[in-house]
Amino acid sequence: MPDQCHSVELPILDISRPLEPSARASLAEACKKWGFFHITGHGISKGLYNKLYSLSQQLFNLPSETKLELGPSSSIKTYTPHFIASPFFECLRVFGPNFFASAQSSANTLFGQQSFEFSEALQEYGSKMTELSKRIVEILLMSLGEDFDKKYYESEFENCHGYLRIVNYTPPKSLVDEVEGLGMHTDMSCVTIVYQDEVGGLQVKSKEGKWMDISPCEETLVVNIGDMLQAWSNDKLRSSEHRIVLKKPVKRLSLAFFWCFEDEKVILAPNEVVGEGILRIYEPFVCSDYLKFRESSERGKFEKVGFTVKDFAGVSL
């Protein structure tokens, strides 16, 4: 393995069981240091993943003209073609809370009216991810402080919503070394839940600036903290820079579920979360203003770093 890249060891949390005090401490530490951890006990069967995998392959194997009917210049806009995020990246978005309806509107164009298999599978996956996201936010609140889940879940996180990105990476056939499938970025979510297939390629940047592999592991999902929760937690939870590198000339599929605050939400870390005697790092801001800031400062660059939540709402010293 090249010197500049190592695998990172992250805690594995069994989400189906109550949070033990020792797990709470290692989770808090991992979230502060890496902003990434693994979960098991998520209740999603291998069968559902196999189904989503083969349906996604069918979808991305369709001719470009068909996919572009859902592209950025169409009315539905659920498909992002190659050469927007990177030459090797394309994705389809499915929006909650009615994942069935969102998937179906894309499926009608792609596969014709008769197919419900795709929408049903996405409804099942989207609702499971929604439940998981809620549980993860509760657990993260518990890791921040005694009874913080009871104090803050309902008042702060009750109106969160989610969407899914199905991502297909196609590296060049004559891959010599490695290429970036998706460049360095932070997520704008509260939390993101990622399923990556066995190809791997997800990397997180350490605070010292080293790229570390997050290797795929069967039956575990990757969870990462996004900018919204970093700001809300006054940096107790880190939204880390990450990217996808393609090292083999094979396709890679991932499912990334983003759990986000509602657009009109004002993000302000509660005093108790900031902690006594600790400086507040962010000015309060409206969620959608940050999303607009990110869109406008990275035109054509798709979530490139350089304009993140600290640049937007960081307290000037």
Among 149, 156, 187, 227, binds Fe ion (CB under 5 A): 187
Shortest reach from residue 56's CB to ligand AKG, in Å: 12
Q: Is 93 in the site for ligand AKG (CB under 6 A)?
A: no
Q: Closest distance between ligand AKG and the C-beta of residue 186, in Å? A: 9
The one-letter amino acid at 186: T
CB 77 within 8 A of CB 105: no
Strand arrangement of the beta sheet that strand 161-169 belongs to: 12-14, 36-40, 221-225, 191-196, 252-260, 161-169, 89-95, 79-80
165 binds, among ligand AKG, Fe ion, none (CB under 5 to 8 A by kind): ligand AKG
Distance CA 188, CA 303 (A): 9
d(CA 119, CA 140): 31
Binding to ligand AKG in span 229-258, by CB under 6 A? 242, 244, 254, 256
197/263 with CB nearer ligand AKG: 197
Site string for ligand AKG, 187-226 (x = CB under 6 A): x------x-x-----x------------------------
Part of the chain binding Fe ion (CB under 5 A), chosen from 87-95, 102-110, 164-172, 187-195: 187-195
Q: How far is the CB of 242 from ligand AKG (least distance, A)?
A: 6
In the complex with ligand AKG, which residue's Cβ is closer, 89 or 148? 89
Residue 283 identity (one-letter amino acid): E
162 with 230: CB under 8 angstroms?
Answer: no
DSSP state of 289: H
Both tokens of residue 254?
Answer: 């991932």
Q: Which of 30, 139, 182, 231 binds ligand AKG (CB under 6 A)?
A: 182
Under the criterion CB under 6 A, does residue 133 sit at the interface with ligand AKG?
no
Write out the two tokens for 70: 């859902």
Residue 92 pairs in a beta bridge with 79, 166
CB 307 to ligand AKG: min, Å: 16
Stretch that binds Fe ion, among 46-54, 133-141, 182-190, 206-214 (CB under 5 A): 182-190
Taking a C-beta distance cutoff of 8 angstroms, is the pair 78, 90 a contact? no
- If binding is defined by CB under 6 A, does position 165 make contact with ligand AKG? yes
Nearest CA-CA partner of 164 in 100, 112, 81: 100
Total of residues contacting ligand AKG (CB under 6 A)? 11
Count residues binding Fe ion (CB under 5 A).
Answer: 1
Specify whether the CB–CB gap between 34 and 238 falls below 8 A: yes
Tell me the sheet residues that pair with 225: 191
Q: Which residues are near ligand AKG by CB under 6 A?
A: 165, 167, 182, 187, 194, 196, 202, 242, 244, 254, 256
